[in-house]
A and B are shown apart, each in its own frame.
Chain A
Protein backbone atom coordinates (compact mmCIF):
# COMPACT_ATOMS: atom_id res chain seq x y z
CA UNK A 1 0.00 0.00 0.00
CA UNK A 2 2.94 2.31 0.66
CA UNK A 3 3.58 3.03 -3.05
CA UNK A 4 0.28 4.95 -3.42
CA UNK A 5 0.62 8.67 -2.71
CA UNK A 6 -2.55 10.07 -1.19
CA UNK A 7 -1.12 13.24 0.34
CA UNK A 8 -1.89 15.97 1.06
CA UNK A 9 -5.16 15.70 2.94
CA UNK A 10 -7.05 18.90 2.21
CA UNK A 11 -10.13 20.07 4.05
CA UNK A 12 -11.82 23.15 2.66
CA UNK A 13 -14.53 24.82 4.74
CA UNK A 14 -15.63 21.35 5.87
CA UNK A 15 -18.55 21.18 8.27
CA UNK A 16 -20.71 18.60 9.93
CA UNK A 17 -23.95 18.64 11.93
CA UNK A 18 -25.38 16.08 14.32
CA UNK A 19 -28.84 16.19 15.80
CA UNK A 20 -29.34 19.69 14.41
CA UNK A 21 -26.14 20.97 16.04
CA UNK A 22 -23.09 22.02 14.02
CA UNK A 23 -20.28 19.95 15.51
CA UNK A 24 -17.52 20.81 13.01
CA UNK A 25 -17.40 24.24 11.40
CA UNK A 26 -15.36 25.80 8.60
CA UNK A 27 -12.50 23.32 8.89
CA UNK A 28 -9.72 24.56 6.61
CA UNK A 29 -6.41 22.77 6.72
CA UNK A 30 -3.86 20.82 4.75
CA UNK A 31 -2.07 17.85 6.29
CA UNK A 32 0.99 16.48 4.52
CA UNK A 33 2.98 13.26 4.82
CA UNK A 34 5.51 15.21 6.85
CA UNK A 35 5.93 15.90 9.69
CA UNK A 36 5.22 12.36 10.77
CA UNK A 37 2.93 12.80 13.78
CA UNK A 38 0.05 15.24 13.81
CA UNK A 39 -1.81 15.55 17.11
CA UNK A 40 -5.35 16.81 17.39
CA UNK A 41 -5.89 18.25 20.84
CA UNK A 42 -8.64 20.15 22.58
CA UNK A 43 -11.09 19.91 25.45
CA UNK A 44 -13.86 17.33 25.67
CA UNK A 45 -16.54 18.00 23.08
CA UNK A 46 -14.18 19.94 20.84
CA UNK A 47 -14.85 17.54 17.95
CA UNK A 48 -11.54 15.65 17.90
CA UNK A 49 -13.04 12.21 17.23
CA UNK A 50 -15.42 13.62 14.63
CA UNK A 51 -12.52 15.38 12.93
CA UNK A 52 -10.61 12.08 12.64
CA UNK A 53 -13.69 10.22 11.38
CA UNK A 54 -14.32 12.95 8.82
CA UNK A 55 -10.73 12.69 7.55
CA UNK A 56 -10.91 8.88 7.48
CA UNK A 57 -14.16 8.93 5.53
CA UNK A 58 -16.36 7.35 8.21
CA UNK A 59 -18.36 10.59 8.20
CA UNK A 60 -19.18 12.67 5.16
CA UNK A 61 -18.84 16.45 5.23
CA UNK A 62 -22.18 18.22 4.88
CA UNK A 63 -20.45 21.45 3.94
CA UNK A 64 -17.16 22.00 2.15
CA UNK A 65 -14.84 19.27 0.91
CA UNK A 66 -12.37 16.64 2.11
CA UNK A 67 -9.83 15.48 -0.48
CA UNK A 68 -6.93 13.06 -0.34
CA UNK A 69 -4.40 14.23 -2.95
CA UNK A 70 -6.87 13.66 -5.75
CA UNK A 71 -7.20 9.95 -4.94
CA UNK A 72 -10.80 8.64 -5.03
CA UNK A 73 -12.48 8.15 -1.65
CA UNK A 74 -12.50 4.34 -1.65
CA UNK A 75 -8.84 4.01 -2.72
CA UNK A 76 -7.83 6.63 -0.18
CA UNK A 77 -9.72 4.83 2.61
CA UNK A 78 -7.93 1.56 1.82
CA UNK A 79 -4.61 3.34 2.31
CA UNK A 80 -5.63 4.26 5.85
CA UNK A 81 -6.47 2.53 9.11
CA UNK A 82 -8.05 3.70 12.32
CA UNK A 83 -7.88 2.66 15.96
CA UNK A 84 -10.71 3.79 18.20
CA UNK A 85 -10.70 4.84 21.84
CA UNK A 86 -12.63 1.69 22.76
CA UNK A 87 -11.19 -1.21 20.75
CA UNK A 88 -13.84 -3.37 19.08
CA UNK A 89 -12.72 -6.97 19.08
CA UNK A 90 -14.31 -9.41 16.67
CA UNK A 91 -15.48 -12.66 18.29
CA UNK A 92 -12.33 -14.49 17.28
CA UNK A 93 -8.89 -15.21 18.68
CA UNK A 94 -6.23 -12.49 18.71
CA UNK A 95 -4.70 -14.08 15.63
CA UNK A 96 -8.13 -14.47 14.02
CA UNK A 97 -8.85 -10.76 14.47
CA UNK A 98 -5.87 -9.73 12.35
CA UNK A 99 -6.25 -12.57 9.88
CA UNK A 100 -9.94 -11.85 9.27
CA UNK A 101 -9.37 -8.11 8.78
CA UNK A 102 -6.76 -8.92 6.12
CA UNK A 103 -9.06 -11.48 4.51
CA UNK A 104 -11.69 -8.78 4.08
CA UNK A 105 -9.14 -6.87 2.01
CA UNK A 106 -8.46 -9.94 -0.16
CA UNK A 107 -4.92 -10.60 1.09
CA UNK A 108 -3.65 -14.11 0.24
CA UNK A 109 -3.39 -16.70 3.02
CA UNK A 110 0.45 -16.94 3.11
CA UNK A 111 0.79 -13.16 3.21
CA UNK A 112 -1.84 -12.97 5.95
CA UNK A 113 -0.01 -15.52 8.07
CA UNK A 114 3.32 -13.70 7.73
CA UNK A 115 1.89 -10.29 8.58
CA UNK A 116 -0.18 -11.62 11.47
CA UNK A 117 2.72 -13.45 13.11
CA UNK A 118 5.05 -10.50 12.67
CA UNK A 119 2.59 -8.00 14.14
CA UNK A 120 1.57 -10.14 17.10
CA UNK A 121 5.26 -10.49 17.92
CA UNK A 122 5.92 -6.77 17.41
CA UNK A 123 3.08 -5.81 19.75
CA UNK A 124 4.08 -8.36 22.38
CA UNK A 125 0.98 -10.50 21.87
CA UNK A 126 2.63 -13.55 20.29
CA UNK A 127 1.94 -15.74 23.33
CA UNK A 128 -1.75 -14.73 23.27
CA UNK A 129 -2.33 -15.51 19.58
CA UNK A 130 -4.86 -18.29 20.21
CA UNK A 131 -6.66 -16.58 23.10
CA UNK A 132 -10.12 -15.09 22.49
CA UNK A 133 -9.58 -11.40 21.73
CA UNK A 134 -12.44 -10.48 24.04
CA UNK A 135 -10.72 -12.22 26.94
CA UNK A 136 -7.65 -9.97 26.69
CA UNK A 137 -7.11 -7.07 29.08
CA UNK A 138 -8.07 -3.60 27.86
CA UNK A 139 -4.42 -2.72 27.25
CA UNK A 140 -3.84 -5.94 25.29
CA UNK A 141 -6.99 -5.30 23.26
CA UNK A 142 -5.75 -1.83 22.37
CA UNK A 143 -2.39 -3.26 21.27
CA UNK A 144 -4.24 -5.88 19.22
CA UNK A 145 -6.35 -3.15 17.63
CA UNK A 146 -3.12 -1.36 16.73
CA UNK A 147 -1.61 -4.56 15.33
CA UNK A 148 -4.78 -5.14 13.29
CA UNK A 149 -4.64 -1.61 11.90
CA UNK A 150 -0.92 -1.82 11.11
CA UNK A 151 -1.49 -5.15 9.31
CA UNK A 152 -2.99 -3.10 6.46
CA UNK A 153 0.43 -1.35 6.11
CA UNK A 154 -1.45 1.95 6.03
CA UNK A 155 -0.03 5.20 4.72
CA UNK A 156 -2.04 7.00 7.38
CA UNK A 157 -2.93 5.71 10.82
CA UNK A 158 -5.72 7.52 12.66
CA UNK A 159 -5.70 7.05 16.42
CA UNK A 160 -8.61 8.28 18.47
CA UNK A 161 -7.30 8.72 22.02
CA UNK A 162 -5.83 5.21 22.00
CA UNK A 163 -4.36 5.50 25.50
CA UNK A 164 -7.24 7.35 27.17
CA UNK A 165 -8.36 4.39 29.28
CA UNK A 166 -4.99 2.73 29.84
CA UNK A 167 -2.72 2.67 32.87
CA UNK A 168 0.69 4.33 32.42
CA UNK A 169 2.54 1.08 31.65
CA UNK A 170 -0.01 -0.03 29.05
CA UNK A 171 -0.08 3.49 27.58
CA UNK A 172 3.72 3.43 27.32
CA UNK A 173 3.61 0.15 25.34
CA UNK A 174 1.04 1.60 22.96
CA UNK A 175 3.09 4.79 22.53
CA UNK A 176 6.14 2.68 21.64
CA UNK A 177 4.22 0.87 18.91
CA UNK A 178 2.97 4.19 17.52
CA UNK A 179 6.49 5.62 17.51
CA UNK A 180 7.77 2.52 15.67
CA UNK A 181 5.02 2.84 13.07
CA UNK A 182 5.96 6.49 12.53
CA UNK A 183 9.62 5.59 12.15
CA UNK A 184 8.59 3.00 9.54
CA UNK A 185 7.01 5.82 7.52
CA UNK A 186 3.36 5.70 8.56
CA UNK A 187 1.74 9.10 8.93
CA UNK A 188 0.13 9.24 12.38
CA UNK A 189 -2.86 11.51 13.02
CA UNK A 190 -3.82 11.11 16.65
CA UNK A 191 -6.25 12.78 19.01
CA UNK A 192 -5.44 13.16 22.66
CA UNK A 193 -6.18 15.34 25.63
CA UNK A 194 -3.11 14.10 27.44
CA UNK A 195 -0.91 17.18 27.10
CA UNK A 196 2.17 15.36 28.39
CA UNK A 197 1.77 12.73 25.72
CA UNK A 198 1.22 15.36 23.04
CA UNK A 199 4.36 17.23 24.12
CA UNK A 200 6.40 13.99 24.09
CA UNK A 201 5.16 12.67 20.76
CA UNK A 202 3.67 15.35 18.51
CA UNK A 203 5.49 16.91 15.56
CA UNK A 204 2.64 19.27 14.78
CA UNK A 205 -0.55 20.16 16.61
CA UNK A 206 -4.09 21.00 15.60
CA UNK A 207 -5.95 22.70 18.44
CA UNK A 208 -9.70 22.27 18.13
CA UNK A 209 -12.29 24.16 20.12
CA UNK A 210 -16.05 23.77 19.74
CA UNK A 211 -15.71 22.30 16.26
CA UNK A 212 -13.29 24.88 14.87
CA UNK A 213 -9.53 24.76 14.30
CA UNK A 214 -8.12 27.54 16.46
CA UNK A 215 -4.45 26.81 15.88
CA UNK A 216 -2.39 24.53 13.62
CA UNK A 217 1.36 24.73 14.21
CA UNK A 218 4.62 22.89 14.69
CA UNK A 219 4.36 21.24 18.11
CA UNK A 220 7.43 22.85 19.69
CA UNK A 221 6.21 26.34 18.72
CA UNK A 222 2.68 25.61 19.86
CA UNK A 223 3.69 24.37 23.28
CA UNK A 224 6.28 27.14 23.77
CA UNK A 225 3.96 30.00 22.89
CA UNK A 226 0.45 29.29 21.68
CA UNK A 227 -1.00 32.19 19.71
CA UNK A 228 -4.62 31.50 20.47
CA UNK A 229 -6.02 32.62 23.86
CA UNK A 230 -8.13 29.48 24.22
CA UNK A 231 -5.16 27.27 23.41
CA UNK A 232 -3.10 29.10 26.02
CA UNK A 233 -5.81 28.64 28.65
CA UNK A 234 -6.14 24.99 27.68
CA UNK A 235 -2.39 24.40 28.06
CA UNK A 236 -2.42 26.16 31.43
CA UNK A 237 -5.28 23.98 32.60
CA UNK A 238 -7.68 26.88 32.98
CA UNK A 239 -11.37 26.45 32.26
CA UNK A 240 -12.06 27.88 28.80
CA UNK A 241 -14.22 31.02 28.74
CA UNK A 242 -17.52 29.29 27.96
CA UNK A 243 -16.90 26.79 30.74
CA UNK A 244 -15.90 29.56 33.15
CA UNK A 245 -19.17 31.32 32.49
CA UNK A 246 -21.20 28.23 33.38
CA UNK A 247 -19.10 27.58 36.50
CA UNK A 248 -19.56 31.18 37.75
CA UNK A 249 -23.27 31.03 37.02
CA UNK A 250 -23.54 27.91 39.16
CA UNK A 251 -21.62 29.55 42.01
CA UNK A 252 -18.61 27.25 41.68
CA UNK A 253 -14.90 27.97 42.24
CA UNK A 254 -13.57 31.20 40.71
Chain B
Protein backbone atom coordinates (compact mmCIF):
# COMPACT_ATOMS: atom_id res chain seq x y z
CA UNK B 1 0.00 0.00 0.00
CA UNK B 2 2.92 2.31 0.81
CA UNK B 3 4.42 1.62 -2.61
CA UNK B 4 1.10 2.46 -4.20
CA UNK B 5 0.86 5.75 -2.29
CA UNK B 6 4.47 6.57 -3.15
CA UNK B 7 3.77 5.95 -6.81
CA UNK B 8 0.78 8.30 -6.66
CA UNK B 9 2.88 10.96 -4.94
CA UNK B 10 5.64 10.64 -7.54
CA UNK B 11 3.02 10.83 -10.31
CA UNK B 12 1.67 14.02 -8.72
CA UNK B 13 5.16 15.52 -8.64
CA UNK B 14 5.71 14.71 -12.32
CA UNK B 15 2.43 16.34 -13.31
CA UNK B 16 2.89 19.43 -11.14
CA UNK B 17 6.47 19.97 -12.29
CA UNK B 18 5.37 19.66 -15.94
CA UNK B 19 8.12 17.11 -16.59
CA UNK B 20 9.51 17.63 -20.11
CA UNK B 21 9.35 13.93 -21.02
CA UNK B 22 5.77 13.73 -19.82
CA UNK B 23 4.74 16.82 -21.74
CA UNK B 24 6.35 15.50 -24.93
CA UNK B 25 4.46 12.20 -24.66
CA UNK B 26 1.15 13.93 -23.96
CA UNK B 27 1.64 16.36 -26.86
CA UNK B 28 2.37 13.54 -29.31
CA UNK B 29 -0.61 11.51 -28.05
CA UNK B 30 -2.97 14.44 -28.55
CA UNK B 31 -1.46 15.30 -31.94
CA UNK B 32 -1.80 11.75 -33.29
CA UNK B 33 -5.30 11.16 -31.92
CA UNK B 34 -6.71 14.56 -32.87
CA UNK B 35 -5.36 14.31 -36.43
CA UNK B 36 -6.72 10.76 -36.73
CA UNK B 37 -10.16 11.83 -35.48
CA UNK B 38 -10.12 14.92 -37.72
CA UNK B 39 -9.29 12.87 -40.82
CA UNK B 40 -11.84 10.22 -39.90
CA UNK B 41 -14.48 12.92 -39.46
CA UNK B 42 -13.63 14.47 -42.84
CA UNK B 43 -14.09 11.12 -44.55
CA UNK B 44 -16.58 9.44 -42.23
CA UNK B 45 -19.22 12.11 -41.73
CA UNK B 46 -20.02 12.68 -45.42
CA UNK B 47 -19.78 8.93 -46.02
CA UNK B 48 -22.12 8.15 -43.10
CA UNK B 49 -24.47 10.86 -44.37
CA UNK B 50 -24.52 9.44 -47.88
CA UNK B 51 -25.34 5.98 -46.55
CA UNK B 52 -28.13 7.53 -44.44
CA UNK B 53 -29.68 9.33 -47.43
CA UNK B 54 -29.11 6.94 -50.28
CA UNK B 55 -31.02 3.83 -51.25
CA UNK B 56 -28.99 1.38 -53.30
CA UNK B 57 -28.55 -2.38 -53.55
CA UNK B 58 -26.24 -3.65 -50.82
CA UNK B 59 -26.90 -0.72 -48.47
CA UNK B 60 -27.88 -2.99 -45.60
CA UNK B 61 -24.76 -5.09 -46.10
CA UNK B 62 -22.59 -1.96 -45.99
CA UNK B 63 -24.28 -0.86 -42.75
CA UNK B 64 -23.66 -4.27 -41.20
CA UNK B 65 -20.01 -4.22 -42.30
CA UNK B 66 -19.39 -0.77 -40.80
CA UNK B 67 -21.14 -1.76 -37.58
CA UNK B 68 -18.99 -4.88 -37.37
CA UNK B 69 -15.83 -2.86 -38.05
CA UNK B 70 -16.50 -0.76 -34.95
CA UNK B 71 -15.14 -3.69 -32.97
CA UNK B 72 -11.99 -4.16 -35.05
CA UNK B 73 -9.19 -5.61 -32.86
CA UNK B 74 -6.45 -2.93 -32.71
CA UNK B 75 -3.60 -5.45 -32.84
CA UNK B 76 -4.98 -6.89 -36.07
CA UNK B 77 -5.20 -3.40 -37.57
CA UNK B 78 -1.66 -2.73 -36.34
CA UNK B 79 -0.43 -5.93 -37.96
CA UNK B 80 -2.13 -5.19 -41.31
CA UNK B 81 -0.82 -1.60 -41.39
CA UNK B 82 2.62 -2.93 -40.40
CA UNK B 83 2.59 -5.37 -43.33
CA UNK B 84 1.41 -2.66 -45.73
CA UNK B 85 4.06 -0.16 -44.62
CA UNK B 86 6.98 -2.53 -44.07
CA UNK B 87 9.82 -2.38 -46.59
CA UNK B 88 8.53 -5.45 -48.45
CA UNK B 89 4.93 -4.22 -48.35
CA UNK B 90 3.08 -2.32 -51.11
CA UNK B 91 3.60 1.05 -49.39
CA UNK B 92 7.10 0.33 -48.08
CA UNK B 93 8.56 2.88 -50.46
CA UNK B 94 6.88 5.64 -48.47
CA UNK B 95 9.11 4.82 -45.49
CA UNK B 96 6.36 5.52 -42.96
CA UNK B 97 6.77 2.60 -40.57
CA UNK B 98 7.67 3.66 -37.00
CA UNK B 99 6.59 7.25 -37.59
CA UNK B 100 3.64 9.21 -36.12
CA UNK B 101 2.09 9.13 -39.63
CA UNK B 102 1.87 5.33 -39.47
CA UNK B 103 0.19 5.64 -36.07
CA UNK B 104 -2.31 8.11 -37.53
CA UNK B 105 -3.06 5.71 -40.41
CA UNK B 106 -3.73 2.87 -37.96
CA UNK B 107 -5.95 5.05 -35.78
CA UNK B 108 -7.93 6.34 -38.78
CA UNK B 109 -8.70 2.71 -39.69
CA UNK B 110 -9.92 2.09 -36.14
CA UNK B 111 -11.90 5.35 -35.74
CA UNK B 112 -13.44 5.62 -39.22
CA UNK B 113 -16.06 2.83 -38.80
CA UNK B 114 -17.20 4.36 -35.50
CA UNK B 115 -17.72 7.78 -37.04
CA UNK B 116 -19.37 6.38 -40.19
CA UNK B 117 -21.79 4.18 -38.22
CA UNK B 118 -22.76 6.76 -35.61
CA UNK B 119 -23.10 9.51 -38.23
CA UNK B 120 -25.29 7.23 -40.33
CA UNK B 121 -27.55 6.49 -37.37
CA UNK B 122 -27.87 10.11 -36.30
CA UNK B 123 -28.49 11.48 -39.78
CA UNK B 124 -30.88 8.69 -40.73
CA UNK B 125 -33.01 9.68 -37.74
CA UNK B 126 -32.87 13.35 -38.77
CA UNK B 127 -33.59 12.49 -42.42
CA UNK B 128 -36.91 10.88 -41.48
CA UNK B 129 -37.90 14.25 -40.04
CA UNK B 130 -36.47 16.43 -42.83
CA UNK B 131 -36.93 14.37 -45.99
CA UNK B 132 -40.23 15.70 -47.29
CA UNK B 133 -39.55 19.29 -46.30
CA UNK B 134 -36.13 19.40 -47.99
CA UNK B 135 -37.41 17.65 -51.10
CA UNK B 136 -40.28 20.12 -51.22
CA UNK B 137 -37.71 22.96 -51.10
CA UNK B 138 -36.14 21.44 -54.21
CA UNK B 139 -32.86 20.70 -52.40
CA UNK B 140 -30.32 18.57 -54.25
CA UNK B 141 -28.89 15.47 -52.60
CA UNK B 142 -25.67 17.32 -51.71
CA UNK B 143 -27.70 20.19 -50.23
CA UNK B 144 -29.72 17.69 -48.19
CA UNK B 145 -26.50 16.12 -46.90
CA UNK B 146 -25.01 19.51 -45.99
CA UNK B 147 -28.23 20.50 -44.20
CA UNK B 148 -28.33 17.29 -42.19
CA UNK B 149 -24.66 17.56 -41.21
CA UNK B 150 -25.11 21.16 -40.08
CA UNK B 151 -28.41 20.64 -38.27
CA UNK B 152 -27.12 17.45 -36.66
CA UNK B 153 -23.82 18.98 -35.59
CA UNK B 154 -24.51 18.91 -31.87
CA UNK B 155 -25.59 15.28 -31.99
CA UNK B 156 -22.54 14.43 -34.10
CA UNK B 157 -20.29 15.55 -31.23
CA UNK B 158 -21.10 12.16 -29.72
CA UNK B 159 -19.62 10.40 -32.75
CA UNK B 160 -16.45 12.51 -32.50
CA UNK B 161 -16.14 11.77 -28.79
CA UNK B 162 -16.52 8.05 -29.33
CA UNK B 163 -13.88 8.20 -32.04
CA UNK B 164 -11.50 10.21 -29.89
CA UNK B 165 -12.02 7.82 -26.98
CA UNK B 166 -11.07 4.90 -29.21
CA UNK B 167 -8.00 6.71 -30.58
CA UNK B 168 -6.53 8.12 -27.38
CA UNK B 169 -6.96 4.89 -25.40
CA UNK B 170 -5.64 2.59 -28.12
CA UNK B 171 -2.35 0.79 -27.52
CA UNK B 172 -2.06 -2.36 -29.66
CA UNK B 173 -1.98 -0.81 -33.13
CA UNK B 174 0.25 2.17 -32.29
CA UNK B 175 2.68 -0.11 -30.47
CA UNK B 176 3.11 -2.27 -33.60
CA UNK B 177 3.29 0.47 -36.25
CA UNK B 178 4.90 3.16 -34.07
CA UNK B 179 7.37 0.98 -32.21
CA UNK B 180 7.16 3.06 -29.01
CA UNK B 181 10.39 4.90 -29.87
CA UNK B 182 11.43 7.48 -27.26
CA UNK B 183 11.09 11.10 -28.48
CA UNK B 184 9.60 9.90 -31.77
CA UNK B 185 6.56 7.64 -31.46
CA UNK B 186 6.04 7.20 -27.74
CA UNK B 187 2.48 8.08 -26.73
CA UNK B 188 0.69 7.86 -23.39
CA UNK B 189 -0.70 4.36 -23.77
CA UNK B 190 2.52 2.78 -25.07
CA UNK B 191 4.52 4.63 -22.39
CA UNK B 192 2.17 3.34 -19.67
CA UNK B 193 2.58 -0.23 -20.95
CA UNK B 194 6.37 0.13 -21.06
CA UNK B 195 6.79 1.83 -17.68
CA UNK B 196 4.46 -0.63 -15.98
CA UNK B 197 6.41 -3.56 -17.43
CA UNK B 198 9.62 -1.99 -16.06
CA UNK B 199 8.01 -1.46 -12.66
CA UNK B 200 8.25 2.36 -13.00
CA UNK B 201 4.80 2.96 -11.60
CA UNK B 202 5.15 6.71 -11.01
CA UNK B 203 5.36 7.69 -14.67
CA UNK B 204 2.80 5.04 -15.64
CA UNK B 205 0.35 6.31 -13.03
CA UNK B 206 1.02 9.95 -13.89
CA UNK B 207 0.28 9.26 -17.55
CA UNK B 208 -2.76 7.22 -16.61
CA UNK B 209 -4.16 10.07 -14.50
CA UNK B 210 -3.55 12.56 -17.28
CA UNK B 211 -5.18 10.25 -19.82
CA UNK B 212 -8.26 10.05 -17.62
CA UNK B 213 -8.26 13.81 -17.07
CA UNK B 214 -8.02 14.53 -20.81
CA UNK B 215 -10.94 12.21 -21.52
CA UNK B 216 -12.96 13.77 -18.75
CA UNK B 217 -12.24 17.38 -19.79
CA UNK B 218 -13.00 16.68 -23.45
CA UNK B 219 -16.26 14.94 -22.53
CA UNK B 220 -17.31 17.80 -20.28
CA UNK B 221 -16.48 20.34 -23.00
CA UNK B 222 -18.32 18.35 -25.65
CA UNK B 223 -21.37 17.83 -23.45
CA UNK B 224 -21.44 21.53 -22.55
CA UNK B 225 -21.23 22.44 -26.23
CA UNK B 226 -23.99 19.97 -27.04
CA UNK B 227 -26.22 21.20 -24.23
CA UNK B 228 -25.66 24.80 -25.29
CA UNK B 229 -26.56 23.97 -28.86
CA UNK B 230 -29.59 21.93 -27.87
CA UNK B 231 -30.83 24.65 -25.56
CA UNK B 232 -30.64 27.12 -28.40
CA UNK B 233 -32.04 24.97 -31.16
CA UNK B 234 -34.17 22.67 -28.95
CA UNK B 235 -32.81 19.83 -31.06
| Interface positions of A (Cβ within 8 A of B) | 53, 56, 58, 74, 77-78, 80-82, 84, 88, 90-92, 100-101, 104-105, 132, 134-135, 152
Is B233 in contact with A105, judged by CB distance below 8 angstroms?
no
Contact with A along B109-138 (1 / 0, CB 8 A): 000000000000000000001101111111
Please state if A132 and B232 are interface contacts (CB–CB under 8 Å): yes
Chain A proximity mask over B134-150: 1 for CB below 8 Å, otherwise 0: 11111100010001000
Binding site for A on B (CB under 8 A): 129-130, 132-139, 143, 147, 151, 232-235
> Quick one: given A88-B129, A91-B151, A104-B143, are A56 and B136 in contact (CB under 8 Å)?
yes
Chain A residues lying within 8 Å of B151, measured Cβ to Cβ, are 90-92
Other A-B pairs, 14, CB within 8 Å; known A53-B132, A90-B133, A104-B134? A58-B132, A81-B136, A82-B132, A88-B129, A88-B130, A90-B147, A90-B151, A91-B151, A91-B235, A101-B137, A104-B137, A104-B139, A104-B143, A104-B147
Query: What number of residue pairs across chains A and B have CB atoms under 8 A from each other?
Result: 46
Q: Which of B129, B136, B139 has the most CB of A within 10 A?
A: B136
Residues of B within 8 A of A58 (CB): 132, 135-136
Contact of A77 among B132, B138, B233, B234 (CB under 8 A): B138
Give the dominant DSSP class at B's interface: helix
How near does chain A come to B146, taking the closest CB pair, in angstroms?
Answer: 9
Main secondary structure of the interface of A (DSSP, over half): mixed
Chain B residue numbers with a CB within 8 Å of A80 are: 136
C-alpha spacing A84/B131, complex, angstroms: 12
Chain B, residue nearest A131 (CB): B232
CB distance from A186 to the nearest CB of B (A): 15
In the complex, which residue of chain A has the Cβ closest to the Cβ of B134?
Answer: A104
B129 cross-chain contacts in A, Cβ below 8 A: 88
Is the beta-carbon distance between B133 and A92 smaller than 8 angstroms? no
22 A-B pairs in the complex with CB atoms less than 8 angstroms apart: A53-B132, A56-B136, A58-B132, A74-B138, A77-B136, A82-B136, A84-B132, A88-B129, A90-B130, A90-B133, A90-B151, A91-B233, A91-B235, A92-B151, A92-B233, A104-B139, A104-B143, A104-B147, A132-B232, A132-B233, A134-B233, A152-B137
